[in-house]
Structure 1
Amino acid sequence: MTKLLYFLILLIVGSEAMAQETVWTSVKQPLKEVKALKKQIVKPKFRNKDYAITDFGAVGDGTTKNTKAIADAIAKCHEEGGGRVVVPKGVFLTGAIHLKSNVNLHLADSTVVLFSRDSTDYPMVFTRWEGMECINYSPFIYAYEQENIAVTGNGTLDGNANMDYWWWWCGAKKFNWDESKGKQTPARVALHEMMADEVDPKTRVFGDGHYLRPAFVQPYKCSNIYIADVKLINAPMWNLNPVLCENVLIERVKVITHGPNNDGCDPEACKNVWIKDCYFDTGDDCIAIKSGRDEDGRNIGRPAENHIIENCIMKDGHGGVVIGSEIAGGAKNIYALNNTMDSPNLDRALRIKTSSSRGGTTENVFFYNTKVGKYKDAAVRFNMFYEKPGNHIPTIRNIWVENMTVKEGGKYGVLSAAYKESPVKNVTMINCVIDGVKEAYKVDYIENVTLKKVTINGKEYTSFD
Structure 2
Amino acid sequence: MKQVRNLLIAAVLPFSLLVSCGEPQKTQEQETDQAWKVADSIRTLIVEPNFAKKDFLITEYGAGSDSTVLSTQFINDAIEACHTDGGGRVVVPKGTFLTGAIHLKSNVNLHLEDGAKLLFSRNTEDYKPLVKSRWEGMECMNYSPLIYAYGQENIAITGKGILDGNANNEHWWPWKAKKVYGWSEGMDNQLAAVKKLTQQVKDGIPVEDRVYGDGHFLRPPFIQPYNSSNILIADVKIINAPFWNINPVLCENVTVRNVSVVTHGPNNDGCNPESSKNVLITGCYFDTGDDCIAIKSGRNEDGRSIGRPAENHIIENCEMKDGHGGIVIGSEISGGAKNIFAQNLKMDSPELDRILRIKTSSLRGGVIEDIYMRNVEVGTYKEAAVLVDMFYENPGDFMPTVRNITVENLNVKKGGKFGVLINAYEESPAENLKIINSNIDGVDVPIQANYTKNMVFDNVLINGKLVTDEDVQSTSEAEFEKF
Length-normalised TM-score, structure 2: 0.91
The residue identity in structure 1 corresponding to 2:467 is: Y
Query: Using the alignment, how far apart are the partners of 2:249 and 2:47 within structure 1?
Result: 18
Q: 1:73 aligns with which of 66, 78, 83?
A: 78
1:88 corresponding residue in structure 2: 93
The CA deviation string for residues 282-323 of structure 1, in whole angstroms up to 9 with x for no partner, is 000000000000000000000000000000000000000000
Q: How many pairs align?
A: 449
Structure 2 gaps, min length 5:
1-8, 20-27, 474-483
RMSD value over aligned CA atoms? 1.7
Answer yes or no: is 1:416 the counterpart of 2:422.
yes
Could you tell me whether the CA contact under 8 Å between 1:179 and 1:185 is conserved in 2? no
Residue 265 of structure 1 aligns to which amino acid in structure 2? C
- 2:400 is the counterpart of 1:388: no
* Per-residue Cα deviation, 1:110-133 (whole angstroms, up to 9, x for no partner): 111000000010010000000000
> Helix, strand or coil for the counterpart of 1:174?
helix
Say whether 1:28 aligns with 2:33: yes
Amino acid at match of 1:217: I
Residue of structure 2 equivalent to 1:116:
121
User: Hey, what's the Cα distance between the residues in 1 that align with 2:182 and 2:165?
Assistant: 19
Cα contact 1:170–1:182 (8 A) shared by 2: no
Matches within 5 A, 1:223-242: 223-242=229-248
- The aligned residue for residue 174 of structure 1 is 180
1:23–1:426 contact (8 Å) kept in structure 2: no
Pick from 432, 440, 451 the counterpart of residue 438 of structure 2.
432
Mapped partners of 1:120, 1:209: distance in 2: 12
Q: Does residue 59 of structure 1 match 2:64?
A: yes
Q: 2:108 aligns with which of 96, 99, 103?
A: 103
In the aligned structure 1, how far is the partner of 2:343 from the partner of 2:113?
31
- Residue 183 of structure 1 aligns with which residue? 189
State whether structure 2 residue 362 is matched by structure 1 residue 334.
no
Contact 1:349–1:380 at 8 Å: present in 2 too? Answer: yes
Change (3 A) 1:128 1:418: same
Deviation at 1:175, TM superposition (A): 4.3
1:8 paired residue number: none
**Secondary structure, aligned partner of 2:272:** coil
> Are the structure 2 counterparts of residues 451 and 20 from structure 1 closer, same or farther at C-alpha, using a change threshold of 3 Å?
closer
**Whole-angstrom CA distance in 1 between matches of 2:378 and 2:439:** 10
Opposite residue 379 of structure 1, the aligned amino acid is: A
Per-residue CA deviation, residues 398-423 of structure 1 (Å, 9 max, x unaligned), is 00000000001000000000000000
State the match for 1:453 in structure 2.
Answer: 459
Q: How far apart are the structure 1 equivalents of 2:261 and 2:422?
A: 29
SS at match of 1:369: strand
Provide closer, same or farther for how the CA distance between residues 178 and 164 of structure 1 changes in structure 2, counting only shifts above 3 A. Answer: closer
Structure 2 counterpart of 1:321, which letter? I
CA deviation vs aligned residue, 1:7-60 (integer Å, no higher than 9, x gap): xxxxxxx9xxx7995486422111101111111100000000000000000001
Write out aligned runs for 1:139-218 (5 A). Answer: 139-175=145-181, 183-218=189-224
- Greater shift, 166-175 or 93-102, is seen at 166-175
Q: Does 1:325 align with 2:331?
A: yes
- Opposite residue 339 of structure 1, the aligned amino acid is L
The DSSP-based 3-state class of the residue aligned with 2:197 is helix
Task: Give the corresponding residue for 1:5.
Answer: none
Question: Residue type matched to 2:428 in 1?
Answer: S
The Cα shift of 1:172 comes to 3.3
- Percent sequence identity over aligned pairs: 60
Contact in 1 for aligned 2:173/2:182 (Cα 8 Å)? no
2:441 maps to 1:441: no
Q: In structure 2, which of residues 309, 322, 326 is the aligned counterpart of residue 303 of structure 1?
A: 309
Distance 2:334 2:187 in 1: 27
1:4 is matched with which residue? none
Asked if the contact 1:170/1:181 (under 8 Å) is kept, the reply is: no
Is the contact made by 2:14 and 2:339 (CA closer than 8 Å) also made in structure 1? no
Match of 2:290 among 284, 305, 311: 284
Supply the AA of the counterpart residue of 1:279.
Y
Deviation at 1:176, TM superposition (A): 8.1
CA positional deviation for 1:79: 0.2
Further displaced range: 175-184 or 86-95: 175-184
Deviates more, 1:167-176 or 1:80-89: 167-176
Distance 1:240 1:319, change over 3 A: same
Structure 2 residue identity aligned to 1:100: K
Q: 1:173 Cα deviation (Å)?
A: 3.0
Query: Aligned partners of 2:317 and 2:418: how far apart in 1?
Result: 25
Residue 462 of structure 1, CA deviation: 2.7
Distance in 2, matches of 1:425 and 1:355, equals 16
Secondary structure of 2:392's match? coil
Match of 1:9 in 2: none
Q: Deviations over 1:96-151 (max 9, x none)?
A: 00000000000000111000000010010000000000000000000000000000
Structure 2 counterpart SS, 1:64: coil
